[in-house]
């Protein structure tokens, strides 16, 4: 079983693009979400917990791994998208930018200025997930990452165009469950523990 977890909420979510910026921690609500994820996964048998190297993901992963006595394994290939020149920009600033609209409507072809194309994000995350599932055959593992990379990977695994990835809701502090055997089966999308 493969669990894809989006980190808990930060002050940036819904306000500005943090991308790969360091120093974007979970806020109080995000810390509470991470604790709820830790409680949710406490009863699951987990072989490993992997995480993006960004603080918000690592803190969420630590809350999940703690009840199991597991060490979180950082993976650079699970990091957030590089928004290039948009990094740090508020969503209100980008609202009238035609390139930002194109990026959100045609993910398969668009790229943030001096940033990372969505297909590049998809390729690196799918490669990482493939490697991790091969390392842990028949075991449950958790991967903690970010909304855009998780959506891109899910689109690939479900046979969807990247242009439709934004249709997949991946809320802060949510867990999505996949069964990967001969085929990929989506068993639960966007579960937010109460």
Give me the CATH number covering residue 173: 3.40.50.1240
Q: What is the phi/psi pair of residue 142, to 5°?
A: -115, 135
Tell me the CA end-to-end span of the chain in Å, nearest whole number: 22
CB neighbour list of residue 98: distance below 8 Å, 6 or more residues apart: none
Residues 71-86 have pLDDT tens digits of 999 999 999 999 999 9
pLDDT over threshold 90, residue 118: yes
Per the listing, tokens 């072989």 go with 47
Least trusted range by pLDDT, from 2-16, 37-51, 61-75, 103-117: 103-117
pLDDT over threshold 90, residue 182: no
CB 49 within 8 A of CB 73: yes
- HSE-CB of 182 using CA atoms within 13 angstroms: 0
Give the whole-angstrom CA distance, residue 129 versus residue 137: 12
What pLDDT does 180 receive? Answer: 86
Domain that holds residue 59: 2-191
What pLDDT does 114 receive? Answer: 97
Q: Which residue in 131, 145, 118 sits closest to 53, CA to CA?
A: 145
Q: What letter would DSSP give residue 7? A: P
Exposure string for 165-190, b = 16+ CB within 10 A, e = fewer: beebebebbbbbbbebeeebeeeebe
Using 50, 70 and 90 to split pLDDT, how confident is the model at 110? confident
Give the whole-angstrom CA distance, residue 95 versus residue 28: 28
Give the whole-angstrom CA distance, residue 117 versus residue 110: 7
Domain total for the chain?
1
* Mean pLDDT across 88-98: 95
* Mean pLDDT across 113-122: 96
Give the whole-angstrom CA distance, residue 27 versus residue 33: 10
Residues 7-56 have pLDDT tens digits of 999 999 999 999 999 999 999 999 999 999 999 999 999 999 999 999 99
């Amino acid at each position: 079983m493969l669990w894809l977890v989006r980190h808990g909420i930060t002050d940036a979510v819904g306000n500005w693009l943090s991308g790969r910026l360091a120093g974007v921690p979970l806020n109080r609500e995000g810390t509470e979400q991470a604790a709820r994820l830790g409680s949710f996964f406490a009863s699951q048998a987990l072989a490993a917990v992997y995480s993006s190297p960004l603080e918000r993901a690592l803190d969420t992963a630590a809350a999940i791994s703690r009840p199991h006595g597991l060490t979180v394994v950082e993976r650079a290939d699970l990091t957030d998208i590089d928004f290039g020149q948009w990094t740090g920009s508020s969503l209100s600033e980008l609202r009238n930018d035609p390139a930002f609209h194109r990026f959100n409507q045609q993910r398969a072809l668009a790229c943030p200025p001096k940033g990372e194309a969505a297909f590049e994000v998809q390729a690196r995350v799918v490669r990482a997930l493939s490697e991790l599932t091969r390392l842990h055959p028949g075991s449950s593992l958790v991967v903690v990452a970010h909304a855009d990379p998780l959506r891109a990977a899910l689109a690939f695994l479900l046979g969807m165009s990247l242009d439709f990835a934004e249709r997949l809701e991946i809320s802060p502090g949510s867990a999505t469950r996949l069964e990967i055997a001969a085929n990929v089966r989506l068993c639960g999308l966007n579960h937010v523990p109460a």
